[in-house]
Structure 1
């Protein structure tokens, strides 16, 4: 797949829609996708004609997180985990509102991607999981954008268990803003986009700056170092290998 094929970009009626389009690897945050997403996001934010940025996806999966096929080996700690903070921070601090549409599973870094957005609309088929601990890694970087959104006790349990939860639970916990039936997702997103576009560009930018004034929780420098060590560590590499080989990790007791 060519690098340019992993993201679709369209601009219509003041809305820049960035569509993750790498279904073959479950829209994982590969090097190619991270680069294209950052490039397209910067272009949308620089375009005075764009009022709202919409993040969507093709295929059954919203985003499966970091591309684990690129995370194996001694240099794993230096791979995309060190680029992810820049992408999340760019979305988090963007002067224009960003709306995420989640129609299917989101895992690990994919949950971080949607958590950085201002409004998240999820269909009933969407599921979520902080699967990092089951891979021997740590949800360090994404915690900076997840923890301000999710109720503390909910985040505590879900990040420790790694269990899968549905759109209704995600909305109850604060991760998702609107959980709607699958056939109502497009209408719900359109309504949110219209509402956001009704505000003045300057007022929206200043209001978002005000809302984000508390800053990201934790230092991204410290968090990305922790995440990088986890990816490159013995347990992280074992978890990634087990995932790719479709077998239990060594720390999972035999049934």
Structure 2
């Protein structure tokens, strides 16, 4: 996998289009994909001709979060894999928030786990008709710890209360209604049209004006980002090391109910 291209970049009229292209593992955040995505973001940040970044994907999943299997396959212990995944998520969210150019996430597939971190760190988010969203961590004995840093400031408190706790799947229209995505679109053509309109608006703005405006919109998130990230990483590590998390993940992998599951379905 080390030689595979999992993240593809192209420039279209001053817009860098970065595509997660690892559909075979649902665009999971393997060490290779993370490295390539960080590199693509850094290249866009350094290119003075780039005015905006579009982050999108191939396949039916935008991003399924961490790639635990790949990490364990490299000889890491579960604890080491968890710590590495947390650091990767922190680095990606930070890079997206700190780049001075607008980042537009375009999703038309499933968003799960760390995929929410990428979505939440984007300045603008568009969801196509095939997008689905679910924060299922609580069903695994875990919590959406790391990604909460960028989700809680964007989602309404009532929506976060429901979907953080229940793990229910929600639609693009619901995601728009409580602030997680900027707009839910009914077709891929509508997504393309909306993206074109947004990019045209950005192309009319000056680089200085874009950078200064983005500093305003990300200031609150970045003010205590490192402190929050450190606290959430410690919390996440403790949860992953717990007996309940082991039971939750084992139940998920073997397609059975977890020991605590008292539901009727």
Match of 2:255 in 1: 246
Look up the SS of the partner of 2:155 in the other structure. Answer: coil
Hey, what's the Cα distance between the residues in 1 that align with 2:259 and 2:22? 30
Give unmatched runs, 5+ long, in structure 2: 73-77
Hey, what's the Cα distance between the residues in 2 that align with 1:106 and 1:9? 21
Contact 1:76/1:231 (8 A) holds in 2: no
Hey, what's the Cα distance between the residues in 1 that align with 2:169 and 2:263? 21
Match of 1:206 in 2: 212
Match of 1:190 in 2: 196
Per-residue Cα deviation, 1:177-214 (whole angstroms, up to 9, x for no partner): 01011231111112111112211111110111012222
Hey, what's the Cα distance between the residues in 2 that align with 1:166 and 1:143? 19
Decide which of 159, 182, 192 is 1:177's aligned counterpart: 182
Look up the SS of the partner of 1:125 in the other structure. Answer: coil
Q: TM-score, normalised by structure 2?
A: 0.90
Match of 2:75 in 1: none
Which residues of 2 match residues 1-255 of structure 1 at below 5 A?
1-70=1-70, 73-183=78-188, 184-216=190-222, 219-253=228-262
Hey, what's the Cα distance between the residues in 2 that align with 1:238 and 1:71? 20
> How many aligned residue pairs are there?
255
CA gap 1:232/1:77 in 2 versus in 1, 3 angstroms:
farther
RCO higher in 1 or 2 (8 Å CA, sep ≥ 6)?
A: 1
CA gap 1:177/1:254 in 2 versus in 1, 3 angstroms:
closer
Q: TM-score, normalised by structure 1?
A: 0.93
